[in-house]
């Protein structure tokens, strides 16, 4: 249930929006302005203007019709200038990492969206919550279970919503896999193979530094495999065993793993094999059930995704993942004042516990209980 605080701030921003309907029709034609007739468009501020923010989320924010890019937070003044011009962002809605907390006083911003390196998510979610803003945060939500718990607590105490950018929950092929497997359309699922890896480029990037990334491919893309095993089975894993792969590039992989494999058992007896790598280009989900199978490949990247079952091709619409995600999240928020529960901070925390369990299993060689 929304708290009084979050309901109050939502109503405040709603009334602000409705009050602004007096603006002229030529201004209303601009997609970056907050109103469509009497309906409030939620103002989103992106924190961190790297490749995901620039190439995906900013695009989504020009395509969704219930939210828009209202503000930016960046440490680079040239980016601030470029983005302000491109997206018609007023100077008063542009922040840097030092003065970010002043966003508390900015009524244009309903939701702050954290798109920084993984280890920075914790700090900025806490600061956004303190500023009284609802928060979306990129995956993985944090670099430890403790951080994830603190992020959830901070948002609860501040009365703000916390969501994790699990875009595939809104993607049609993935939703169809969830339906087929969770509703046992092909019978009980007994085996899942899930692999996601790519050949990483620039050796200087933050993804190869444990202090910024929290780990290697498991944190970055293996998390999609963990998610997949949970949304295919609709269950939480009982235990995990895992192994690090060999380090073949000793200069690049000094602090994070180059690849990792794991095995998990689920309560309905489904077994899952997972693999994630910064060396192999691989992206696949295979679900084996009593009366058939499902395969997605590509399964996790921006698409178009492609799928087959034992009954033939899967026909699903090809969508821009980030647009349908933001559209759905904002729709639910406008209607209920809450973010969707299936992409909540608690969901992110469940993944963090499993990711840390996989690392512990690989490090110790032991079978780690997850319940
Ligand atoms: P990126 O390197 O392209 O961008 C990172 C941004 O953070 C840059 O603007 C950089 O200037 C800024 N930054 C601030 N402090 C920094 C520091 N100390 N070191 C490095 N950069 C710093 O990364 P990205 O690919 O945009 O990833 C950002 C987040 O988004 C990550 O958490 C990542 O996992 C997530 N992501 C999610 C998806 C998805 O499909 N959901 C896809 C890509 C990335």
The H or E element containing residue 121 is: helix 121-130
Query: Is the per-residue pLDDT at 325 higher than 60?
Result: yes
Mutational pocket test of ligand 1: of 135, 206, 319, the residue with most ligand atoms within 8 Å of the beta carbon: 206
Residues 13, 30, single domain; the answer is yes
Range of the domain at 151: 4-167+324-339
Distance in angstroms (rounded) separating the CA atoms of residues 156 and 158: 5
pLDDT at 39: 58
How confident is the model over 91-130, as pLDDT tens digits?
A: 999 999 999 999 999 999 999 999 999 999 999 999 999 9
Residues 334, 313, single domain; the answer is no
Asked whether residue 345 is domain-assigned, the answer is: no
Kindly name the residue from 68, 95, 113, 224 that is annotated as catalytic: 224
pLDDT at 324: 98
* Strand 42-47 to 67-73 pairing: parallel
Neighbours of 4 (CB within 10 A): 8
Mutational pocket test of ligand 1: of 47, 50, 228, the residue with most ligand atoms within 8 Å of the beta carbon: 50
Residues 59, 86, single domain; the answer is yes
Distance in angstroms (rounded) separating the CA atoms of residues 307 and 231: 16
| 348 Rama class: left (phi>0) / alpha (psi -120 to 50) / beta | alpha
Query: Is the per-residue pLDDT at 22 higher than 60?
Result: no
How far, in Å, from the CA of 242 to the mean position of ligand 1?
A: 27
Residues 328, 222, single domain; the answer is no
Residues 218, 275, single domain; the answer is yes
- For the CA atoms of 236, 242, 247, 249, the dihedral, rounded to the nearest 10 degrees, stands at -10
**Mean pLDDT over each residue of the chain, to the nearest integer:** 91
How confident is the model over 1-18, as pLDDT tens digits?
A: 333 333 333 333 333 332
Residues 83, 117, single domain; the answer is yes
For the domain that residue 67 is a member of, what is the CATH number?
3.40.50.720
Q: Are 293 and 286 in contact (CB under 8 A)?
A: yes
Instruction: pLDDT band for 366, please (50, 70, 90 cuts).
Output: very high
Instruction: pLDDT band for 40, please (50, 70, 90 cuts).
Output: confident
How confident is the model over 141-197, as pLDDT tens digits?
A: 999 999 999 999 999 999 999 999 999 999 999 999 999 999 999 999 999 999 999
Which pair of structure tokens corresponds to residue 38? 């009497």
Supply the residue whose CA is at minimum distance from atom 43 of ligand 1.
52
- Looking at the structure of the chain, the number of domains it has is 2
Kindly name the residue from 40, 41, 139, 279 that is annotated as catalytic: 139
- 125: burial class by Cβ within 10 Å (0-12, 13-18, 19+)? buried
Residues 232, 361, single domain; the answer is yes
How confident is the model over 184-196, as pLDDT tens digits?
A: 999 999 999 999 9
How far, in Å, from the CA of 88 to the mean position of ligand 1?
A: 23
Residues 271, 308, single domain; the answer is yes
Instruction: pLDDT band for 303, please (50, 70, 90 cuts).
Output: confident
Distance in angstroms (rounded) separating the CA atoms of residues 41 and 32: 9
Query: Is the per-residue pLDDT at 21 higher than 90?
Result: no
Query: Is the per-residue pLDDT at 81 higher than 80?
Result: yes
């Amino acid at each position: 249930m929304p708290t009084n605080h979050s309901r109050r701030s939502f109503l405040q921003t709603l009334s602000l929006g409705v009050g602004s309907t007096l603006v002229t029709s030529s201004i209303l034609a601009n997609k970056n302005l907050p109103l469509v007739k009497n309906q409030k468009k939620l103002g989103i501020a992106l924190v961190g203007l790297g490749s995901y923010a620039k190439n995906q989320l900013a695009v989504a924010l020009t395509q969704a019709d219930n939210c828009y890019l209202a503000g930016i937070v960046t440490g680079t003044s040239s980016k601030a200038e470029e983005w302000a011009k491109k997206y018609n962002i007023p100077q008063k809605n542009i922040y840097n990492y030092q003065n970010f907390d002043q966003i508390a006083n900015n009524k244009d911003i309903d939701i702050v969206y954290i798109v920084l390196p993984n280890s920075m998510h914790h700090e900025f979610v806490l600061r956004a919550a303190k500023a009284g803003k609802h928060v979306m945060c990129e995956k993985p939500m944090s670099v430890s279970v403790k951080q994830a718990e603190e992020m959830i607590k901070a948002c609860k105490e501040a009365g703000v919503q916390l969501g994790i950018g699990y875009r595939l929950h809104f993607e049609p092929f993935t939703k169809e896999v969830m339906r087929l497997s969770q509703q046992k359309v092909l019978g009980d699922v007994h085996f899942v193979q899930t692999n996601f890896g790519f050949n990483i480029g620039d050796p200087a990037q933050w993804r190869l530094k444990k202090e910024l990334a929290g780990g290697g491919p498991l944190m970055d893309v293996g998390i999609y495999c963990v998610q997949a095993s949970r949304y295919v089975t609709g269950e939480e894993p009982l235990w995990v065993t895992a192994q690090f792969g060999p380090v073949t590039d000793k200069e690049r992989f000094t602090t994070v793993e180059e690849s990792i494999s794991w095995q998990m058992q689920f309560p309905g007896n489904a077994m899952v094999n997972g693999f994630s790598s910064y060396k192999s280009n691989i992206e696949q989900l295979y679900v084996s059930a009593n009366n058939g199978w499902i395969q997605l490949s590509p399964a996790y990247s921006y698409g178009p995704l492609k799928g087959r079952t034992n009954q033939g091709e899967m026909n699903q619409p090809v969508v821009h993942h980030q647009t349908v995600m933001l559209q759905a999240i904002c729709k639910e928020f406008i209607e209920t004042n809450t973010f969707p529960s299936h992409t909540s901070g608690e969901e992110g925390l469940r993944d963090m516990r499993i990711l840390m369990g996989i690392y512990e299993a690989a490090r110790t060689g032991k079978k780690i209980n997850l319940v």
